[in-house]
């Protein structure tokens, strides 16, 4: 289908983009790589009056080492995340999961910020950002800036805490220390498809045990969620497959996964338990 009519601007700077978005009012929308928004426009599920194109803004792209964290520009593409040496060294799970997003063409155009701002619980990177304890940095009308914890950012299906007029400029991601292992497990029907369920697991290893774990779940509810019960069960567990599988048994506790052509809620709960066991074992190095 052909999208409904809209106006289009491509500002040269972030300040201009913030201004254009404010001038456009509630019916203005940011477009970055267009990999999620364009399909919505073509299906006429979104009707913005104005698109503010932030694709290619250099201020939004790239990775900065900020000491104990990385600040990753919202416009950084999935391809850049996969290949950036600093991301690979300090937040390897982000590079790993970005490499599982869609296909090479989408990974070249699609952006980290776009994936998060889209707020799709089936997206791979929101659950990873949640497990990592990332913080979103948003700039609003007049240039005001605020930070939003990932745990507060995903509000509902395709809905985030970003307000009209706000642009996500970057994401602060704490560095993982050398004692942390990680794994993103994605279960999909065909290669390069969306996750039926995904699990992002981080495990801090200590003396044959997992001292601490952080687990984010993809497509297990209307927003990406943490598997808190499984995290608690993993803390202090022996780093063995049997012990980690036992801890993973609670991975689906309290979840309300969707039902669709790819699977019923019970099937997704089963997948969440199995994938969490696998992801924890890989993260713990067993
Ligand atoms: C064929 C195909 C397969 C796909 N498979 C997967 C997959 O397996 N896993 C996966 O996770 N995703 C998948 N996707 C989705 C896609 O990769 C991401 O959602 C996409 O990369 C989003 O980034 P974008 O820059 O293209 O965002 P856009 O499409 O430009 O924007 C998406 C939304 O975010 C908003 N937005 C974008 N940037 C900003 C910003 N800086 N500030 C505020 N709001 C912003 C837009 O207004 C819009 O609402 C797939 C997409 C396609 C087309």
Q: What pLDDT is stored for residue 142 in this prediction?
A: 85
Place of tokens 């001292």: 211
Residues 47-85: tens digit of each pLDDT? 999 999 999 899 999 999 999 999 999 999 999 999 999
Confirm or reject: Cβ of 98 under 6 Å from ligand 1: no
Residue closest via CA to ligand 1's atom 52 equals 35
DSSP notation for 108-128: HH-BHHHHHHHT-TT-HHHHH
- Look at residue 151 and tell me whether its pLDDT is greater than 80: yes
Distance 284 CA to ligand 1 centre (A): 31
Residues 214-241: tens digit of each pLDDT? 999 999 999 999 999 999 999 999 999 9
Sheet-wide strand order for 63-65? 63-65, 69-73, 167-174, 135-139, 145-149
pTM: 0.97
CA–CA dist 33, 18 (Å, integer): 17
pLDDT tier for residue 92 given thresholds of 50, 70 and 90 = very high
Q: What pLDDT is stored for residue 1 in this prediction?
A: 76
Q: Are 197 and 188 in contact (CB under 8 A)?
A: no
Q: Are 24 and 3 in contact (CB under 8 A)?
A: no
- Look at residue 191 and tell me whether its pLDDT is greater than 90: no
CA–CA dist 179, 206 (Å, integer): 7
Residue closest via CA to ligand 1's atom 15 equals 36
């Amino acid at each position: 289908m052909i999208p409904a009519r809209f106006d289009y601007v491509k500002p040269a700077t972030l300040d201009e983009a913030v201004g254009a978005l404010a001038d456009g009012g509630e019916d203005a929308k940011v477009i970055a790589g267009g990999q999620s928004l364009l399909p919505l426009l073509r299906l006429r599920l979104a009707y913005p009056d104005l698109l503010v194109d932030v694709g290619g803004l250099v201020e939004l792209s790239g990775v900065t080492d900020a000491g104990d964290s990385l600040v990753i520009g919202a416009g950084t593409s999935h391809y850049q995340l996969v290949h950036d040496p600093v991301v690979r060294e300090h937040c390897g799970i982000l590079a790993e999961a970005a490499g599982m997003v869609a296909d090479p063409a989408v990974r070249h155009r699609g952006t980290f910020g776009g994936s998060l701002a889209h707020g799709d619980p089936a997206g791979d990177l929101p659950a990873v950002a949640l497990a990592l304890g990332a913080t979103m940095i948003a700039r609003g009308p007049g240039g005001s800036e605020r930070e939003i914890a990932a745990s507060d950012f995903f509000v509902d299906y395709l809905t985030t805490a970003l307000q009209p007029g706000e642009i996500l400029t970057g994401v602060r991601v704490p560095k993982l220390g050398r004692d942390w292992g990680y794994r993103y497990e994605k279960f999909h029907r065909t290669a390069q498809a969306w996750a039926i369920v995904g699990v992002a697991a981080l495990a801090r290893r200590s003396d044959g045990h997992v001292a601490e774990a952080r687990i984010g779940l993809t497509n297990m509810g209307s927003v990406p969620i943490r598997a808190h019960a499984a995290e608690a069960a993993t803390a202090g567990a022996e780093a063995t497959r049997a012990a980690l599988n036992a801890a993973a048994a609670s991975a689906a506790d309290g979840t309300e996964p969707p039902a669709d052509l790819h699977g019923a809620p019970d099937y997704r709960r089963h997948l969440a338990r199995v994938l969490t066991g696998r992801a924890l074992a890989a993260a713990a190095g067993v």
